[in-house]
Structure 1
């Protein structure tokens, strides 16, 4: 069998390792093949193949090194990671450069999934290839290409939806079971230029109005099911790192999906400007989005944001409280420098506050772009020589005084020129 972009010896090795068991390429690689698109792993940007086998994936993986050696004529370096809970294996193959270099393979046993509660992780058991396709998210991702026969298995009319450039959910409870599929759909819509089908949009709105998940807004964030917490965060990270995120967030909001995060975010008309400034100032985009929520810290806890991002939002809240107490009358640039460089704040928190365009926005921006970079016009060594100061508190205070005077002087010169 020939597949564009996929080395034939690799396909032959997989067929050999399957040893007669039904084995197929599934998911995004089949979709992209039919769309004449190059397929890559969304996290690492490397070519990858999702392979499903009816039987034990471990057996195929065990036979694969020998099959690769037979097809390529030499030993292929590979690393292996097993995810035992789901019977899946992640392999990294180091093929020669003429065969594409590093390849990623995800090899899994065909399985069935059942959701014990909406939004929870599913329970898994072995199944058929047909079962495996039925558990997927959208029809365009629920096709399989059998390796031995080369037959395309399309049980859910995925080709029809590809032609219509639309995203159709596989069954009526798709979003009830796993609401992260909503974010994934926004990612696909942005990347492929697709739209949610009318039926998918109706299911989305109906599911949201019912809110079938045990956790409710206002409950303990740590008790949210995975699909409203950690798995949702992972989908959002992919959205910002690997997709045209402006389009994806817009699709998510237009279809009502931001309400999975927060009602205020769903109604937020300023997210695009906030994220534009965040990107411009090198602030991580996910906490910049979360900053527009009614309770950013609660949402950060529910999503289990990385410690650094959670800390950034804590600093932002502290800075907002301090800014609300600052009078509206003019303050010297040196005062702002001392205020914004106080212990417990970071320049990244100031940048995030700038993206919100709240009180004293202009002063924060001037500090970010100019004042924080100003240094004392007289070096420490000169002060020690000319003023007899020694290393320590007195020298530090003198350097700080000179720096503050220099900040005010430079700002006055700038204003006089303008």
Structure 2
């Protein structure tokens, strides 16, 4: 219980449900606590009437209550903190990849049966401390193994294949259900659901992308050109890790796939610009500082970061030094000297090149370089 009590907001959660029978902490929180780690959050499941428990809990902590009667769940918010209570449920799938049909009124054992992996199919009662686990869950936790609960698990919910890569990277566990992986199952799931899991995977260690490549999941999501070539200490993370895997994918096709997966415009632009810019510039930044500036001056910083992560010395020079060089003159100086329109920008470019080449260290030299004689 000590790791559970140390979880963010645990003092509020535990006070809210104190004395309520049938309340369990479930899933990853129990997994992490049994490993002696502090969970990221406490997920609660109630055997019985979860909405009644939620109403009592909201009164105890003076919180506001939002009820989702159709799903048997409720959210309690107090101050800046919020937590959920869910009724124990059974789930069935009408077809592969479909959202589950939910039936409330289940036991905690039946609720655990809907979990993704055995190490997440564990619950501890807050009433009496009783631990309930799926058969083999403790052994898999002790041995560091990720195992699905049954052979149809990925058919029922193909996004679990992405979760397998995510948890394997985070926990350092060995996946044992690889024979059941079928990237073709992604065709039964909406792009938004797949994209949501992929976005969560961006937060995990870079080795998760290695699994996507090895298992064929990356190709199924983003195209056959998906490749993992950068799993080194210099490798990027987050959106740049995704871009690094997509450098061989055509710009338009990559944008379309990311749009299908529900990535927001800003994130799509970062991935597409970084990936396509890398393919265009990699290996061409071995010139002088002025040459590198000419090539990178209009590129996104993320593109240059990706190039540097791949060991491109010119990109690293740009990040460390070149981009920080500043002129002693401004556009106002050139306007005062009689330049207008595009000529102002062209003059500043000439001055910057002269500065980087060592010909114009000061204001007067830069003005001479900027203004045609």
Query: Normalising by structure 2, what TM-score?
Result: 0.76
Asked whether the equivalents of residues 88 and 106 of structure 1 are also in contact (C-alpha less than 8 Å), the reply is yes
Alpha-carbon distance in 2 for matches of 1:248, 1:322: 26
Partner of 2:35: 35
Structure 2: distance between partners of 1:317 and 1:4: 41
Deviations 1:260-316 (A, max 9, x none): 4356467x351325x93535xx96433344445575334323322221121234434
Aligned residue in 2 for 1:88: 73
Alignment of 1:61 with 2:43, yes or no, is: no
Other-structure match for 1:239: 201
Distance in structure 2 (CA, Å) of the matches to 1:125 and 1:29: 24
The 5-angstrom pairing of residues 116-265 of structure 1 reads: 116-129=94-107, 130-197=109-176, 200-204=177-181, 207-208=182-183, 211-213=184-186, 215=187, 225-226=189-190, 229-241=191-203, 243=204, 245-254=205-214, 257-262=217-222, 264=224
Q: Does the aligned pair in 2 maintain the 1:31–1:140 contact within 8 Å?
A: yes
> Where does 1:396-407 land on structure 2 (aligned, <5 Å)?
396-407=345-356
1:23 to 2:27 alignment: no
Tell me: CA distance 1:400–1:194, structure 2 relative to 1, closer, same or farther (3 Å).
closer
Would the alpha carbon gap of residues 118 and 400 (structure 1) be closer, same or farther in structure 2, given more than 3 Å must change?
A: same
1:94-123 superposed Cα distances (whole Å, 9 cap, x missing partner): 6xxxxxxx8653211122222333223223
1:283–1:352 CA contact under 8 A, matched in 2: no
Three-state SS of the structure 2 residue aligned to 1:33 is helix
Paired with 1:396 and 1:269, the residues of 2 have a C-alpha distance of: 40
The counterpart of 2:323, out of the listed 369, 372, 375, is 372
Q: 1:283 to 1:170 in 2, by over 3 A?
A: closer
User: Cα offset for 1:5?
Assistant: 4.2
Which residue pairs with 2:85 in the alignment?
Answer: 107
Matches within 5 A, 1:5-20: 5-6=4-5, 11=14, 13-16=16-19, 18=20
What is the aligned partner in structure 2 of residue 219 from structure 1?
Answer: none
Alpha-carbon distance between aligned partners in 2 of 1:138 and 1:164, rounded to the nearest angstrom: 14
Structure 1-normalised TM-score?
0.69
Q: Is the partner of 1:261 in helix, strand or coil?
A: helix
**How far did 1:383 drift?**
5.5
- Other-structure match for 1:347: 301
Query: Which sections of structure 1, spanning at least 5 residues, go unmatched?
Result: 41-47, 69-75, 95-101, 216-223, 412-418
Are the counterparts in 2 of residues 61 and 107 from structure 1 also a CA contact under 8 Å? yes
Structure 2 contact 158–185 (Cα < 8 Å) conserved: no
- Aligned equivalents of 2:259 and 2:44: distance in 1? 35
Give the superposed CA RMSD: 3.9
The alpha carbon displacement at 1:158 in A equals 1.4
**Contact 2:3/2:39 (<8 A) preserved:** no
Shift of 1:144: 1.9
Instruction: Tell me if the contact between 1:290 and 1:300 (Cα under 8 Å) persists in the aligned partners.
Output: no
Q: Pick 1 or 2: higher relative contact order, CA cutoff 8 A, min separation 6.
A: 1
How many residues are matched?
Answer: 353
Q: Which residue of 2 aligns with 1:99?
A: none
Contact 1:167–1:194 under 8 Å retained in 2: yes
- Pair 90,286 (structure 1): closer, same or farther in 2 beyond 3 Å: farther
3-state SS of the aligned residue for 2:327?
A: coil
Deviation of 1:39 (Å)? 0.9
Partner secondary structure for residue 144 of structure 1: strand
Look up the SS of the partner of 1:38 in the other structure.
coil
